[in-house]
C-alpha cells in the first residue's frame, strides 16, 4: 500500500491539456475542482457511467471503473494532524477532492498528449520497473506516468497557486516546494533519502568539453559539450564559469571573456536529465594574457 501511495498520492484540474488523447472521461472531469468539489460531486458525475465502483473510508478514496479508464479520486481527511494521519496535506473540509488519477484502458503513447512536456521533470518511481517514469509539473498540477513510452496514468494534483491551502507542517510545505515527485517516507532521514533518490535514475554524464578559440576574438571561445545518458533522456546543459559569461545554450555555446583581467579562468559543465546534475561533470580552464 505504501508503494501505491508513493506513486499516486500526489495526483485545479487542467484536463483540457490532455484532450487530444481522445479519452471521453477527461472532458467529463472538467467539472471537478480540486480542493473544492466533494465526494458527492464525484459520485454524481461518475457512478451512473461506471461499470463498477468502490469506496474506502479508511484511505479516503473512491475508484470508478469506466469503459475507457479507471478513475480514482482521493479526498481530504479533514485534519492536519500529521502524527495521526500520514500525508494529509490539505487544510480543506473532509471529503474534499485533493487528487485525481486516470488509468487509460487503451494504449496511448506519450506523443499523443497535446501538451509540451519539455519543461516537465522526470523521475523513475519504481526501481524494479526500469522503463517506468513520471513526467510532472508541480507548478500546473499535471503529471503523466509512462512505461516504455506508453501512458499508464494521468494525474491531477493542486497547483502551486493552491499552496496557501496546505497544512501548516514543515515537512508538507517542504515537499510541495521541492522539485521532486517521489516523497521521502517519514521514517527515513532527509540526508539518506537524498542519497537513495538518485538510484531512481541513471544520470547523464559529461564525457568531454572541447574549447576552441574563435577566429574573430582572442578572448572568446566556442564550447562543445559531449555528454551521454543511458536512457537517452532529453538533456539540459549547465555551465558554470569563474569569469566572463556564457552566450547561448545547448551543446554548443560561446564563453565570452572579453572584459576580464589577465589570469586563469575555469569552466565547469554538467548535464541535467531531470534529476539535476547527478552525473559526472567536466572542468577545464583557459588563461587570458
Q: Do residues 173 and 80 both lie within one domain? A: yes
Q: Do residues 169 and 76 both lie within one domain? A: yes
Q: Do residues 181 and 219 both lie within one domain? A: no
Q: Residue 124 pairs with which residues in a beta bridge?
A: 133
Torsion of CA 188, 142, 54, 167, to 10 degrees: 50
Q: Which of 280, 203, 220 is nearest to 256 (CA)?
A: 220
Q: Where are the alpha helices (DSSP H) in the chain?
A: 2-8, 24-28, 39-46, 170-177, 190-197
Record the cell numbers describing residue 160, joined without a space. Answer: 502551486
pLDDT at site 6 = 37
pLDDT at site 62 = 94
Q: Which residue has the cell 554548443?
A: 252
Residue-wise pLDDT tens digits, 145-156: 998 888 989 999
In whole angstroms, what is the distance from residue 35 CA to residue 5 CA? 19
Out of 30-39, 136-145, 195-204, 270-279, least confident range: 195-204
∠ CA 154-160-161, rounded to 5°: 115
Which of 198, 222, 239 delimits the end of a domain?
A: 198
Q: Do residues 156 and 30 both lie within one domain? A: yes
Tell me the percentage of the chain whose pLDDT exceeds 70: 81
pLDDT at site 147 = 86
Average pLDDT, the chain: 82
Q: Do residues 216 and 177 both lie within one domain? A: no
Q: Which of 172, 170, 101 is nearest to 142 (CA)?
A: 101
Residue-wise pLDDT tens digits, 36-49: 999 999 999 999 88
Question: For the residues of 242-286, what is the DSSP string, one character each?
Answer: SSSEEES-SSEEEEE-TTPPSEEEEEEEEEESSS-S-S--EEEEE
- Tally of domains in the chain: 2
Question: 95 with 76: CB under 8 angstroms?
Answer: yes
Residue-wise pLDDT tens digits, 212-253: 999 888 899 999 999 998 878 889 998 989 999 999 999 999
Q: Residue 62 pairs with which residues in a beta bridge?
A: 55, 73
pLDDT at site 27 = 86
pLDDT at site 72 = 93
Q: Do residues 213 and 185 both lie within one domain? A: no
Q: Do residues 150 and 243 both lie within one domain? A: no
Q: Do residues 116 and 217 both lie within one domain? A: no
Tell me the percentage of the chain whose pLDDT exceeds 90: 40
The H or E element containing residue 102 is strand 97-104
Out of 100-104, 129-133, 172-176, least confident range: 129-133
Which of 142, 167, 198 delimits the end of a domain?
A: 198
pLDDT at site 187 = 55
pLDDT at site 66 = 84
**CATH code for the domain of 218:** 2.60.40.10
Torsion of CA 192, 196, 198, 201, to 10 degrees: -170
Q: Do residues 68 and 115 both lie within one domain? A: yes
Residue-level length of the chain: 289
Which of 153, 173, 198 delimits the end of a domain?
A: 198
Is residue 203 scored above 60 in pLDDT?
Answer: yes
Q: CA of 220: how far to CAs of 48, 173, 215, 245, 247, in Å?
A: 68, 44, 9, 10, 10
pLDDT band at 257 (very low <50, low <70, confident <90, very high): very high
Q: Do residues 40 and 106 both lie within one domain? A: yes
Q: Which of 230, 228, 204 is nearest to 130 (CA)?
A: 230
pLDDT at site 34 = 95
Out of 79-88, 242-251, 267-276, least confident range: 79-88
Question: 249 with 237: CB under 8 angstroms?
Answer: yes
Q: Do residues 192 and 212 both lie within one domain? A: no
Structural domain containing residue 210: 205-288
Average pLDDT (14-34) is 76
Q: Do residues 271 and 178 both lie within one domain? A: no
Amino acid at each position: 500500500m505504501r508503494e501505491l501511495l508513493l506513486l499516486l498520492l500526489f495526483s485545479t484540474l487542467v484536463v483540457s491539456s490532455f484532450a487530444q488523447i481522445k479519452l471521453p472521461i477527461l472532458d467529463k472531469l472538467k467539472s471537478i475542482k480540486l480542493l473544492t468539489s466533494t465526494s458527492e460531486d464525484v459520485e454524481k458525475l461518475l457512478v451512473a457511467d461506471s461499470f463498477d465502483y468502490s469506496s474506502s473510508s479508511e484511505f479516503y478514496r473512491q475508484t470508478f471503473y469506466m469503459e475507457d479508464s479507471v478513475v480514482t479520486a482521493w479526498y481530504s481527511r479533514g485534519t492536519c494532524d500529521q502524527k495521526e494521519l500520514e500525508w494529509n496535506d490539505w487544510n480543506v473540509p473532509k471529503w474534499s477532492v485533493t487528487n485525481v488519477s486516470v488509468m487509460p484502458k487503451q494504449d496511448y503513447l506519450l506523443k499523443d498528449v497535446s501538451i509540451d512536456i519539455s519543461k516537465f521533470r522526470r523521475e523513475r518511481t519504481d526501481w524494479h520497473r526500469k522503463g517506468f517514469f513520471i513526467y510532472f509539473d508541480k507548478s500546473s498540477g499535471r503529471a503523466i506516468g509512462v512505461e516504455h513510452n506508453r501512458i499508464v496514468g494521468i494525474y491531477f494534483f493542486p497547483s502551486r497557486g493552491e499552496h496557501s491551502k496546505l497544512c501548516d507542517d514543515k515537512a508538507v510545505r517542504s515537499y510541495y516546494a521541492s522539485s521532486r515527485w517521489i516523497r521521502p517516507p517519514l521514517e527515513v532521514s532527509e540526508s539518506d533519502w537524498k542519497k537513495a533518490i538518485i538510484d531512481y535514475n541513471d544520470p547523464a554524464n559529461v564525457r568531454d568539453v572541447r574549447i576552441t578559440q574563435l577566429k574573430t576574438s582572442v578572448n572568446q571561445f566556442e564550447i562543445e559539450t559531449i555528454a551521454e545518458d543511458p536512457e537517452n533522456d532529453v538533456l539540459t546543459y549547465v555551465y558554470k564559469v569563474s569569469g566572463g559569461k556564457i552566450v547561448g545554450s545547448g551543446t554548443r555555446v560561446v564563453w565570452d571573456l572579453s572584459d576580464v583581467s589577465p589570469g586563469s579562468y575555469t569552466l565547469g559543465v554538467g548535464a541535467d536529465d531531470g534529476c539535476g546534475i547527478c552525473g559526472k561533470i567536466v572542468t577545464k580552464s583557459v588563461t587570458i594574457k
